[in-house]
Structure 1
């Protein structure tokens, strides 16, 4: 839902009812993961996607219907017929989509509370009853120290709150089954828990043209982007308008002072040993998911030798994506940024980096 926040706010401000469709379960291969959302207003406007086009038309009709009936609906979509003319997923998987109307202003106010929490970067989990002995569509918002809303039963609320906080700590999203009063190992009620954690960080070092292009594509991919360079003439907001922050500081000093977690990606585009070596020594001490370093093969070889002299061991050196990016034949800063982004996505999901047409098996990786 994060990508729908702007539209949802606008519709709420205008007093426009809308329905929110959310993928709550995926079995087999599917184009969107649990949590993917699509919204439809009473005036026919649409935002978002639940399947990349396979079932959107039917979900649109269901959403329009719920705005009239006021009832939450759960629909399952599976593989379509051989000609793919029917409503279904041509990729062969099955998805469950929960469609909940937000007709009353009070319901939309509650959703806007969630939207504000997400926009503020606060970790939050939203638990929604999907099916079973509780009211479908009932919601409970769980933050680190606060809760709001109810699923209709005190025991169920308590059990879901505990599980939602655990899932929030892991950044996990998925469905859990309970007894009607929150009992474990029972399957009377299905609850979908979607977690929203702050956007992952992209740290770009080196205020060059390639950095500007990388910052733009990082923002497009949903990262909170920081550009850092020690040269004040280069590290300016005017040069990097899409970055969330532009820092003028020695790169390694800044890296040692800023939070880095296992979702953070680091792009080193400086080309200068006096910046690169201390920065990479610091980066390899962090749990960063990806550390990409720009440079020619000669530069890479020289850099590796300098890092070994600085005490970096062979296991640590294997963490470096250097030279940075996938082999796309990129030439321009923008093409190079696409190459870097492609490698980051490959690292995140475990792709091969090869053309899909040369491979067999599932297309959508899950880990």
Structure 2
């Protein structure tokens, strides 16, 4: 199996890895072209020539994966001086390191109409989407777009523990009758976005519960509820647009303000042909 087919499989699985590719070599180097994959656990597939140069590229690739940022590595096969890698061959190599398998995760708890609409709207947005429900009929394949991971669980808490949402995960809760249990299980996790589809009254009831139970305020203050931007959304499709707009605002670090630059001034003259 070629490293490119392996890379495709890893990308589909959203498994973090880096591809290191020689883009320039000068002088005496082990190879003048080549690629290799570096997985986030340190495993390597392929080679760019071995030795100290490859070792340094692996180190750089692991840092790139951790920082979620592509980088260029320029190495000189000498023991001293700028960009020295600690060998005596005398050549130099430039290697581009690109990171992959780092799509943000969108975890939808509950497979009802709104989360179905959110899944379809999010599919083109490069999220790795997972849906969990304790009611198996809600997870029938036609209800969700191709590529969405569907999990049927006896209890939501078990699925949450298995999926282990992290700081790159966006979570939307829409389970109806089990929202509070799901939230109690999720609050300790450092997710990027924690949203609950609920009425204001329901949210107030949950907050009183956490206060009475002594749940640390910094945990439940992260919750966004009701979710979405106020665009007057009512249908599942409209709610999906509202919720994903809020998620993208957070993901992209935007202020969410209208971008309109057209204003009307009493002194403005009409435009004529």
Q: If the length of structure 1 is used for normalisation, what is the TM-score?
A: 0.59
CA distance in structure 2 between the aligned counterparts of 1:182 and 1:197, rounded to whole angstroms: 35
For residues 107-186 of structure 1, the aligned pairs below 5 Å read: 109-131=2-24, 133=26, 138-143=34-39, 144-150=42-48, 154-180=51-77, 185-186=82-83
The question of 1:219 aligning with 2:123 is answered yes
Q: Secondary structure at the match of 1:227?
A: strand
Higher Cα radius of gyration: 2
Match for 1:267 among 160, 172, 197? 172
The residue matched to 1:340 in structure 2 has which SS?
Answer: helix
Say if 2:139 and 2:150, in contact at 8 Å, map to a contact too: no
SS in 2 for 1:249: coil
Quick one: higher RCO (CA 8 Å, sep 6+), 1 or 2?
A: 2
Q: For 2:138, what is the secondary structure of its paired residue? A: coil
**Is the CA contact (8 Å cut-off) linking 1:235 and 1:248 kept in structure 2?**
no
The one-character-per-residue Cα deviations of 1:278-301 (angstroms, maximum 9, x if unpaired) are: 211211111211101112222222
Query: Following the alignment from structure 1 to structure 2, what is the Cα–Cα distance between the partners of residues 164 and 319?
Result: 33
- Normalised by the size of structure 2, how large is the TM-score? 0.77
**Using the alignment, how far apart are the partners of 1:266 and 1:182 within structure 2?**
49
Deviations 1:60-113 (A, max 9, x none): xxxxxxxxxxxxxxxxxxxxxxxxxxxxxxxxxxxxxxxxxxxxxxxx955334
Tell me by how many angstroms 1:123 deviates: 3.0
Contact 2:22 2:94 in 1 (8 A): yes
Give the equivalent residue in structure 2 for 1:35.
none
Work out the number of aligned pairs and report it. 248
Deviation at 1:175, TM superposition (A): 2.1
**Equivalent residue runs for 1:277-296 within 5 Å:** 277-296=180-199
Would the aligned equivalents of 1:202 and 1:264 in 2 still touch at CA under 8 Å? yes
Worse-superposed segment, 153-162 or 263-272: 153-162
Conserved 8 A contact 1:325-1:340: yes
Aligned 8 A contact 1:172 1:194 in 2: yes
Q: Compute the displacement of 1:234 (Å).
A: 3.2
- Number of the residue aligned with 2:210: 307
From 211, 217, 238, the counterpart of 1:335: 238
TM-fit CA distance, 1:193: 0.9
Q: Is the 8 A contact 1:203 1:265 kept in 2?
A: yes
Cα RMSD after superposing both structures = 2.9
Instruction: Report the counterpart of residue 258 of structure 2 in structure 1.
Output: 355
Three-state SS of the structure 2 residue aligned to 1:234 is helix
* Alignment partners' CA distance in 1, 2:81 and 2:66: 20
C-alpha change, 1:127 and 1:233, in structure 2 (3 Å) is closer
- Unmatched 5+ residue regions in structure 1? 1-107, 359-367
**Secondary structure class of the residue paired with 1:280:** helix
- After TM superposition, the structure 1 stretch with the greater mean CA deviation from structure 2, 113-122 or 321-330, is 113-122
Change (3 A) 1:310 1:205: farther
What does residue range 17-36 of structure 1 map to in structure 2 within 5 Å? none
